[in-house]
Amino acid sequence: MSASLEQRIAEVYQAESRRVLATLIRLLHGHFDMAEDALQDAFIAALSQWQRDGIPDNPRAWLVSAGRFKAIDQLRKSTRLDSCLEELAQTLEMESQIQSMDADDALEDDQLRLIFTCCHPSLAMESRIALTLREVCGLTTEAIAAAFLLPVPTLAQRIVRAKNKIRDARIPYEVPEPDALPERLEAVLSVVYLVFNEGYSASSGTQVIQGDLATEAIRLTRLLRDLLPNAEVTGLLALMLLHDARRNGRTSVDGDLIPLEEQDRSRWNQSQIREGCDLVIQALKAGPPGVYTLQAAIAAVHAEAPTAAATDWAEITGLYDVLLRQCSSPVVALNRAVALAMRDGPEAGLKAIDAFRNHKELQHYYLLHAARADLFRRLDRSQEAIQCYQQALDLVKQEPERRFLQQRLAMLQKK
């Protein structure tokens, strides 16, 4: 095989494999593992036949057709051992005779079906994340396990259980009806945002950023926006792009955390910032802003400030006020209190935090203690700051964040 043909087939795999898989899952009646095997068999057949005949005009349709017939062949062999598969084999053969693979076969709908199935609310959140990364994004089980610091067998079992739940509970492989779409879309966006957050700032481990996860979440959101234009999908994409734009400035060459006010803004990705800001405007024009659009608007104010000192904290605080009315999360309240401290001073920030700091959701949230420590430090209340930094250190799980807190603590203890 020539190097150019091999490269072209690799490009087809990169561009089409997840789309082909989504359609095969539908055609094979939700049998995920069978569809994955059929996908691999189809590409193995392509390596041989395309070398002889050339790449077809519609490689996606060719692969879908080849994959389905490979699955039928495999089912025919398996029915000798499992009679339960006979009916499925007959059904697939009948459908293959009446359905043409020459058209696109609603592949866009198939991708949406796959996304909504993997993110179904009846699945546990960790299962939704694992299944989405594996089936929609195409990450290997090993890569997902490494990203979340899980043993590979544990992650593999999580994926298996999710697939079994889909099969046993007969979760439909479909896009929700219009009246159910808002709630189901919210579940999908939650999964994608959790994936991004783990990439943007890992919950534990030795690195702040897991770039592959952040990049994959952005890619998935672009896909979702292409398939299902929606203001909040646009807002989420904007939010991710604006946060990710700061990637190169967030850590030192040694992997240490650099706080926002000390980052070299010339290292921020300006093209991502421009795109993100444009998307914020589009989302705001589309209707009343949702929680992702409001967070994106806050990120845009940060991104557009030429220096940390020039940040418009009044606008940020106002946006947090609106966000808090929509989402009464204690984490949002904490972020608003930090913005308020930047606008009105650390005393105002501490007073705001005191109003909710005993909330049960914040008891193990190290950033609550880190925020209070920073405000006490700015007020030269060293002993209270030291105590809060020590509380934060007891809870933090990411090593670069731990080192940052230890550095701040050491500076205070030297006084």
* pLDDT reading at 81 higher than 90: no
- Binned at pLDDT 50, 70 and 90, residue 92 comes out as low
* pLDDT reading at 59 higher than 80: yes
CB 369 within 8 A of CB 389: yes
Quick: pLDDT tens for 152-194: 999 999 999 999 999 888 898 988 888 888 888 999 999 999 9
CB 272 within 8 A of CB 333: no
Beta bridge partners of 205: 398
Q: What is the predicted pLDDT for the residue at 225?
A: 93
CB under 8 Å to 50, separation ≥6 — which residues? 5, 9, 56
CA pair distance 79, 88, nearest whole angstrom: 10
Q: Count of CB atoms within 10 A of residue 149's CB?
A: 12
Question: What is the residue-wise DSSP string for 52-109?
Answer: HH---S-HHHHHHHHHHHHHHHHHHHHTTT-TTHHHHHHHHHHHHHH--SSS-TTHHH
Beta strand spans in 179-243 (E): none
User: What tokens does 46 get?
Assistant: 């392509």
CB 383 within 8 A of CB 415: no
279-293: b (≥16 Cβ within 10 Å) or e: bbebbbebeebbbbb
- Binned at pLDDT 50, 70 and 90, residue 90 comes out as low
- Binned at pLDDT 50, 70 and 90, residue 94 comes out as low
Q: What is the CA radius of gyration of the chain?
A: 25
CB under 8 Å to 374, separation ≥6 — which residues? 385, 408
Domain range annotation of the chain:
3-105, 312-359, 364-415
CA pair distance 188, 121, nearest whole angstrom: 9
* pLDDT reading at 79 higher than 70: no
Residue 228 DSSP one-character state: S
CB under 8 Å to 48, separation ≥6 — which residues? none
Which of these ranges, 28-32, 277-281, 353-357, has the smallest mean pLDDT?
28-32
